[in-house]
Structure 1
Amino acid sequence: MDQVIIAPDEEWITYIAKMWLLGSQISEEITGHKVDGSMQDLDRLQAIVASGQVKTENTQELQSLGIVFGKVFVNETQDYDWWVVEDDYGKDACIRYKETSLLIFPQTILSKRIEDGETVDVFELFYGLRAELERIKNERYAHA
């Protein structure tokens, strides 16, 4: 099956919202602050990751933190929005640049690194991702 990118339907919007709310609940428990989609959420995410209180085997909680990361990315980066990708592996929420094939998968952006035992610098990841996407965007989609 070829990769198909579709706009999120009500079920996916609800899923993303529930995952974001779980991330907000985790943030409130660990940092004392709910998330709000602002750049301050990166501070909260860094504090959560550094605390080690979300265990590597708790994939859903780790992925909810990725959704929080994704919401900040969408809010702070022009021309990116939530979409859903379907391929041979199933469906997954992603963030897409305009209507191009330039995609990121925020759900696993933190969880994979944490599960692999990497030290995660949320700010470095955020700004590095933005810079790399900007480079790719300028190379491939300058006229998109």
Structure 2
Amino acid sequence: MSACVYKECTDETVHSTILKDAEQMLESIDLLENSKFVVIEPKDTDIDYVVDSVCQLLKVEEEEVGDYYESGKALDRLQVLLDDKLFRLDDLVYLEKLGLLFGSLIRYYYQEFSWAVISDEYGRELVLRFRGHEAVSFPISMIRKRLEEGEHINVAELMTDHYDSVLTNIGQ
């Protein structure tokens, strides 16, 4: 990394701004280098939790879930749940379940995704892995953060945009 300032520039504000920017870049690099997480296969209990969460939100039995995906009712149900906003933003368990349903829909429509778990010093989180790549996406956070920001979420559009973004990021 290098920074240049013209010799004629005597403005101390410019100098301190450049110095602060450089320090922040170095801190960011250190954080990235020190962040260690492991992508692992989910346990059976993780998958059971996803299935249970999806069944609760769809209000169906496990045997009916496939029909709900195939008919488009699962996508419609998630859209209604998000549009009606019958949840509290501090109900993190419910928001997690919305994210798990979203992730399950991604898996259904784009079968190159599989569930995985990220494990780091902060805990474990269910994520989606694309074709075994180390690159993962966070469907729970994708939903939760948008809701916290007050965004309207178009589920079908978000899934398509996400898929296109993943393909772009892995160079396909």
TM-score grouping bracket, smaller chain normalisation: 0.7 to 0.9
Aligned pairs for 1:35-114 (under 5 A) are 36-38=68-70, 39-114=72-147
Partner-residue secondary structure (3-state), 2:167 = helix
Listed one character per residue, the Cα deviations across residues 3-31 of structure 1 (whole Å, up to 9, x for unaligned) are 11111112212222222223223xx7xxx
**3, 11, 19: which is aligned to 2:45?**
11
Amino acid paired to 2:55: L
5+ residue gaps, structure 2: 1-34
TM-score using structure 1 length: 0.80
The answer to whether structure 1 residue 2 and structure 2 residue 36 are counterparts is yes
Listed one character per residue, the Cα deviations across residues 80-129 of structure 1 (whole Å, up to 9, x for unaligned) are 10111101211100110122112111122212211222222222211111
Partner-residue secondary structure (3-state), 1:95 = strand
Partner-residue secondary structure (3-state), 1:37 = helix
Cα RMSD over matched residues? 2.2
The answer to whether structure 1 residue 124 and structure 2 residue 124 are counterparts is no
Amino acid paired to 2:151: E
After TM superposition, the runs of 4+ consecutive aligned structure 1 residues lying more than 3 A away are 37-40
5+ residue gaps, structure 1: 29-33
CA contact (8 A) 1:57 1:115 kept: no
TM-score using structure 2 length: 0.68
Of the two, which has the highest radius of gyration?
A: 2
Amino acid paired to 1:113: R
- 1 or 2 for the larger relative contact order (CA 8 Å, sep ≥6)? 1
Aligned length: 133
Aligned to 1:24: 58
